[in-house]
Structure 1
Amino acid sequence: MDVRNCRTCGKLFNYLSGPPLCPTCMNALEEKFQEVKQYVYDHPKAEMHEVSEVCNVSIGQIKQWIREERLAFSDDSVIGIDCEGCGATIKTGRFCKACKDKLARGFQELYPKTEDKKKIKDFKDQAKMRFLDQSERIQKD
């Protein structure tokens, strides 16, 4: 059992996973998220500092929700964050489409291609040991 102090209020609670927040503070944060989400939906042209002031949420928390892909903005919105790969402005997530594609290609190169898989399978089939039983040995003699 992992007991921790809440990052917000300081109360002790049984920590399971995620941010170190007690259930009360976690519920309050979720309510703030719903408030921010509704405000952004109602005011799509709002800037980040405006959303922060109206909803009484830090800009850092808004950016965290964007990086977690809980908040997304339309292409015509002025709100955006920098891609962690190249620095381009994105509306949600951690990486732009080009960086995501680059990462995906890098991961694909780690796995053998289909023809390489076939060669490996053929080699494994050839390398199997075979045991002859008594009747097969007599027939060969």
Structure 2
Amino acid sequence: MDVRNCRQCGRLFNYLGGPPICQACREAVEEKFQQVKEYVRNNPGSNIQMVAEDNDVTVQQIRQWIREERLEFSADSQVGIECECCGASIRTGRFCEACKSRMRGDFSNAIQKPEPKEDLSKNKGLRDVDKMRFLKK
């Protein structure tokens, strides 16, 4: 059992994985997310700073939700974050489509299919017993 202090409120809780916050703080963050999601839906032209100020959420938290692909701004919005690979402006996730497709190709090339083994025996029709040889004294 892994007992930790919550990073937000300081209470002890049983840590199971994910961000090191207690269940009460996790639920509060989820409520804030739903509030931000509704705000973004109703105000498509708003930027990250405006969303953060109007909903009492940090800009860092909004960027985290965007990176997790939980939150996405509309195509006509000014909001954009940088691709972690090339720096291009993207609306959600960690990587742009070009970097994703390049990584997909790199990963598929990294995993090579095993080549079929050649059968080295000359007599393929013989059983293992037929292949044995005995020496006479």
Indicate the residue corresponding to 1:41 in structure 2: 41
User: How many residues are paired up?
Assistant: 128
Give matches, 1:48-59, under 5 Å: 48-59=48-59
Measured in 2, the distance between the counterparts of 1:47 and 1:65 equals 14
Q: Which consecutive residues of structure 2, in runs of 5 or more, have no partner in the other structure?
A: 133-137
Q: CA deviation at 1:73?
A: 1.5
Residues 110 and 137 of structure 1, relative CA distance in 2, 3 Å threshold: closer
CA RMSD of aligned residues (A): 1.9
Residues 126 and 137 of structure 1, relative CA distance in 2, 3 Å threshold: closer
Measured in 1, the distance between the counterparts of 2:92 and 2:29 equals 19
Secondary structure of the structure 1 residue equivalent to 2:30: helix
Amino acid at match of 1:102: R
TM-score under structure 1 length normalisation: 0.84
Indicate the residue corresponding to 2:119 in structure 1: 126
Measured in 1, the distance between the counterparts of 2:8 and 2:65 equals 17
Indicate the residue corresponding to 1:82 in structure 2: 82
Residues 137 and 57 of structure 1, relative CA distance in 2, 3 Å threshold: closer
Amino acid at match of 1:11: R
Residues 137 and 35 of structure 1, relative CA distance in 2, 3 Å threshold: closer
TM-score under structure 2 length normalisation: 0.86
Indicate the residue corresponding to 1:11 in structure 2: 11
Give matches, 1:84-123, under 5 Å: 84-112=84-112, 117=114, 120-121=115-116, 123=117
Indicate the residue corresponding to 2:135 in structure 1: none
Residues 132 and 31 of structure 1, relative CA distance in 2, 3 Å threshold: same
Residues 137 and 77 of structure 1, relative CA distance in 2, 3 Å threshold: closer
Residues 126 and 6 of structure 1, relative CA distance in 2, 3 Å threshold: same
Q: Which consecutive residues of structure 1, in runs of 5 or more, have no partner in the other structure?
A: none
Secondary structure of the structure 2 residue equivalent to 1:17: coil
